């Protein structure tokens, strides 16, 4: 069997893959490929039509937005992903971004390096405690549940959740107090986080007049996908004071550069899609994506099908 792999996966996982399959890193002979393992590359309907032997497309990670899922389904190609492998890493990163914003850690670091402080603990550089505040979570999947647990158990926050596909009873089982509308969640939350897949219905999900519904002094994190928010509208909300601060680990154009005007703001934190970039997450994702790919090629049912 022939498997396409051109992006980094954990070395032990790649070693196992090479032991059981012929691994190629180009599409020069795409008609011979049985499986594609990807992290960020696009897989289009046109590619699938050329790959006559293709049986499985395996996503190393969560977001399948670079894969034409509809085309794969129509052609009987199994799409699999690893929805739980990086959940702890992304959750910890998200909690860290909220802490960094509320205590102005990144801003303080820059000012220290520039010798801008003239005294310790200056009164004009106050932070905000997380303890006892209200945390609003958009989406209630694996990562969201882990974030909610960290915020609730670690900081004693009230956890609200918005997800139109989850019942109030199920939300409670997952650790959330369900809110029926997105506007209501924004109006009640001191901190807001979004974890939704990038699909047509979630593109620009946080944009325009929705920023008028954020609670005064609220902070916001997006570590999902860049296009689920409108970056221009986020910039305007930060400049106008509709939001106290925001942090993004994902952007429309990645990695972010100085051309992105958000990076000019002191009340904005940027990181280059580091959420799942830990030793532990890469080990788990690599092992899972390789095992699942080999299992599907052997005729077994996948644990985490994308549809």
HEC readout, 68-124:
CHHHHHHCCCEEECCCCCCHHHHHHHHHHHHHHHHCCHHHHHHHHHCCCCCCCCCCC
Which residue, among 44, 43, 85, 45, has the nearest Cα to 62 in the 3D structure?
85
Active site residue 273: yes
Choosing from 20, 213, 273, 283, the catalytic residue is 273
Report whether 144 contacts 151 (CB < 8 A): no
Question: Taking every pair of C-alpha atoms in the chain, what is the biggest distance, in angstroms?
Answer: 68
| Catalytic, out of 60, 146, 174, 225 | 225
Q: What are phi and psi of 187, to 5 degrees?
A: -70, -25
Per-position DSSP letters for 239-276, written without gaps between them: HHTSSSEEEES--SSSS--TTSGGGG-TTEEE-SS-TT
Strand order in the sheet with 191-194: 177-178, 158-162, 134-138, 191-194, 219-222, 245-248, 268-270
Q: Is 225 a catalytic residue?
A: yes
* Pairing verdict, β 134-138 and 268-270: unpaired
d(CA 65, CA 43): 10
**Hey, which residues are catalytic here?**
225, 254, 273
């Amino acid at each position: 069997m022939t498997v396409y792999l051109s992006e980094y996966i954990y070395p032990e996982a790649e070693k196992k893959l090479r032991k059981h399959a012929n691994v190629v890193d180009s599409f020069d002979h795409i008609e011979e490929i049985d499986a594609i393992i990807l992290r960020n590359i696009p897989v289009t309907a046109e590619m699938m039509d050329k790959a006559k032997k293709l049986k499985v497309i395996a996503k190393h990670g969560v977001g399948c937005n670079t894969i034409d899922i509809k085309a794969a389904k129509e052609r009987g190609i199994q799409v699999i992903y690893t929805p739980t492998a990086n959940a702890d890493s992304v959750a910890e990163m998200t909690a860290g971004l909220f802490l960094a914003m509320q205590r102005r850690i990144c801003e303080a670091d820059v000012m220290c390096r520039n010798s801008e402080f003239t005294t310790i603990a200056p009164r004009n550089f106050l932070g905000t405690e997380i303890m006892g505040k209200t945390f609003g979570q958009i989406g209630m999947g694996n990562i969201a549940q882990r974030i909610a647990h960290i915020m609730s158990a670690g900081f004693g926050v009230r956890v609200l959740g918005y997800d139109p596909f989850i019942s109030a009873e199920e939300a409670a089982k997952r650790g959330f107090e369900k809110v029926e509308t997105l506007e209501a969640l924004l109006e009640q939350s001191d901190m807001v986080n979004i974890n939704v897949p990038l699909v047509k219905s979630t593109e620009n999900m946080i944009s325009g007049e929705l920023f008028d519904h954020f609670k005064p002094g609220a902070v916001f994190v997006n570590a999902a996908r860049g296009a689920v928010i409108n970056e221009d509208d986020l910039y305007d909300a930060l400049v106008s004071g509709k939001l106290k601060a925001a942090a993004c680990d994902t952007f429309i154009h990645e990695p972010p550069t100085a051309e992105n005007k958000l990076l000019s703001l002191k009340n904005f934190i940027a990181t280059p899609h580091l959420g799942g970039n830990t030793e532990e997450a890469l080990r788990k994702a690599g092992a899972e994506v390789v095992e699942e790919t080999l299992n599907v090629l052997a005729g077994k049912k996948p644990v985490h099908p994308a549809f």
